[in-house]
Amino acid sequence: MMRLLGFIGGALTLALVQAAPAGAMTIEKIVSPKGITAWLVREKAVPLVALNYAFKGGAAQDPAGKSGTANLVADTLDEGAGDLDSKAFHDRIERHAIELSFNASRDEFRGSLRVLNEHRDEAFDLLRKALTEPRFEPSAVERVRGQELAGLRRETTNPNSIAGRIWWETAFPGHPYSFETKGSLETVPAITPDDLRDFTKRVFARNGLTVSIVGDIDEKTAGEMIDKAFAALPAANDLKPVADVKPKGLGRRIVAELDVPQAVVMFGGPGLGRHDPDFMAAYIVNHILGGGSFSSRLYKEVREKRGLAYGVSENLAWFDHTALIMGGTATRADRTAEALAIIETETKKMAEEGPTADELAAAKDYLKGAYALSLDTSSKIAAQLTQIQLDRLGIDYIQRRSAMIDAVTLDDAKRVAKRIYGSGMLVTVAGRPKGLASSTQ
């Protein structure tokens, strides 16, 4: 059945690409009989449904001293629910080829489901049980906790994890964003099954719910399935307030000594919120400097010209309570200082001069064309629709996006480059970089 689902998923991918280009996709806003709003994209080519949803309140809602709670909830929700213990729950999932997943980010608790239509009722009922009747049996919690702790122990010698942890702790001291979503070796052992139950009661509620559904399903049936999964949840959540915050430590460099052959560099600073009028210009400028493509300035200077790293990237990241520019690379210990100097030079150059007209035109073409790749499967479409809703961009955003990119002028790009790259960065390095030490300037 899993092979069959994979084959059908591939067929649906082809059907969606052929039948529903990004600009031509029809997104319907529907309301279930119990009043739950969702976005629906109908695709009848293959009898399959993909659901994606999010609850406001992720790892930022972890109790004090118990970071990792949301993550442990995500890892244990499918370990038994209602009248089904862990084995029985997993047997149902496997027997009906149901794909069910949960994960926690800093601001949201997210989930997804994908299933053939013939097993739709069973899948949505299992999701209901997981969200409203999780068992959190001690034996299952301890087994999953052991797996998480093993991963956390491995991360104590992982330069990527170390550089990231130090960056977030330094940028947001005392704020919920300072903690890793996975928690730590000190906090995860302190989490109890009651903590997991309390988290679900506070976070899983209809008023903080965003839902997207894609596939061979009509509005009436979609509404019924949405109610089956979510209608039994409480009407309102009980979230603790989280303060807006800006990253601290700009201009600092922190080097953590670690005996590894490569050094990992992480850098970041203030970004722009998703509703800032300059966001689209910043998005384009960011792509030109280091947005993850082979054509970015950082990739050309660090990788192509000097062979200092396999990859280097820098991206915009926006959250409910802050906005960032974040990037990173990994390079030989004896060339880390050189790689970092190039990154800082290119960032300063972009701030002072901005992009060229040719760079701007090429970036626009790439960003418009590449967007379709995020919409080439039912699951990807559902996830994108959920994110668009969370970002409050409007149901017609996909149709408007290309025009928004085209509207950015060279003057806009130069002005915004100075705005986003002129504040300095916090840099963290894990490894033994030669000639590179911690500094406050």
Residue among 142, 148, 140, 143 nearest 87 (CA): 140
CA distance linking residue 429 with residue 254, whole number of Å = 6
Q: What is the pLDDT of residues 202-229, one digit of tens each?
A: 999 999 999 999 999 999 999 999 999 9
Per-residue pLDDT tens, the chain, 441 aa: give them.
333 344 334 444 334 433 344 556 899 999 999 999 999 999 888 899 999 999 999 999 999 999 999 999 999 999 999 999 999 999 999 999 999 999 999 999 999 999 999 999 999 999 999 999 999 999 999 999 999 999 999 999 999 999 999 999 999 999 999 999 999 999 999 999 999 999 999 999 999 999 999 999 999 999 999 999 999 999 999 999 999 999 999 999 999 999 998 999 999 999 999 999 999 999 999 999 998 678 899 999 999 999 999 899 999 999 999 999 999 999 999 999 999 999 999 999 999 999 999 999 999 999 999 998 889 899 999 999 999 999 999 999 999 999 999 999 999 999 999 999 988 999 999 999 999 999 986
For 99-104, the CB contacts below 8 A with 24+ separation are 99/5, 100/126, 100/127, 100/130, 102/73, 102/74, 102/75, 102/77, 102/78, 102/130, 103/71, 103/74, 104/58, 104/59, 104/70, 104/71, 104/73, 104/74, 104/181
Q: What is the pLDDT of residues 258-315, one digit of tens each?
A: 999 899 999 999 999 999 999 999 999 999 999 867 889 999 999 999 999 989 999 9
- Altogether, the residues listed in the chain come to a count of 441
Q: How many CB atoms lie within 10 A of CB 5?
A: 18
Strands of 122-243, DSSP E: 209-215
Q: Virtual CA dihedral for 196, 201, 205, 209, nearest 10 degrees?
A: -10
Which residue type, as a one-letter code, is found at position 64? A
CA distance linking residue 106 with residue 267, whole number of Å = 19
Residue among 371, 171, 346 nearest 280 (CA): 371
Query: Residue 332 belongs to what H/E stretch?
Result: strand 323-332
pTM of the model: 0.92
Residue among 351, 373, 381 nearest 293 (CA): 373
Could you tell me the maximum CA-CA distance found in the chain, to the nearest angstrom?
Answer: 65
Cβ atoms 386, 211 nearer than 8 A? yes
pLDDT for res 23: 52
Classify residue 259 by burial, with Cβ atoms within 10 Å: 0-12, 13-18, 19+.
exposed
CATH class of the domain comprising 2-230 = alpha beta
Looking up tokens 């052992």, which residue turns up? Answer: 189
- Say which CATH topology domain 253-431 has: Cytochrome Bc1 Complex; Chain A, domain 1 (3.30.830)
Domain coordinates of the chain in residue numbers?
2-230, 253-431
Please tell me if the domain spanning 2-230 has the same topology as the one spanning 253-431: yes
Q: Virtual CA dihedral for 18, 20, 21, 26, nearest 10 degrees?
A: 170
